[in-house]
Amino acid sequence: MIEDTIVAMLDSAGITNYPLVPPHDAPTPCVVYQKISMMDMRSHEGYVAERGRWQFSCYAYTYPESKDLAETVKALFDLNQIDFELATREGEIDTPDPDTGLFRKILDFFIWK
């Protein structure tokens, strides 16, 4: 399962991570991951693979910490063909989180498994 692999990779890099929403008292920096969509890839022969769009929100108290965390996540996932068939970074945005006051860098990936 893609989510299990994502969690194992983040854990192995020592990155605190949470699904969907960080707890109110979550330590930072941390990554929040979310499945945006999942699609079965098919061919004339049938099922080939599944492709998921995953979002990683990199939270930190400072902007440089958020950028550094995002770089670590990109190094783990972008063009990874060891843990997945393929993972590609498709987008990136900087945005403060108005609810927490933390800096956040959001990364979008397609991941094939």
What domains are there in the chain, each with its CATH number? 2-112 (3.30.2000.10)
For residue 66, pLDDT over 80 is answered with: yes
- pLDDT (0 to 100) of residue 35: 96
Query: Long-range CB contacts (< 8 A, 24+ apart) of 91-98?
Result: 94/63, 94/66, 97/59
Q: Please give the model's pTM, rounded to 2 decimal places.
A: 0.89
3-state class (DSSP) for residue 57: strand
For residue 63, pLDDT over 80 is answered with: yes
Mean pLDDT of all residues in 9-28: 94
- pLDDT (0 to 100) of residue 39: 82
Alpha helices (H) along 13-111: 63-77
| Separation CA 66–CA 100 (nearest Å) | 14
For residue 48, pLDDT over 90 is answered with: no
For residue 51, pLDDT over 90 is answered with: no
Q: What are the pLDDT digits (tens) for 19-47?
A: 999 888 889 999 999 999 988 766 777 77
Sequence-separated (6 or more) residues with CB below 8 Å from residue 94: 63, 66, 103, 104, 105, 106
Higher pLDDT, 57 or 47: 57
| Separation CA 60–CA 69 (nearest Å) | 8
Give the chain's mean pLDDT. 92
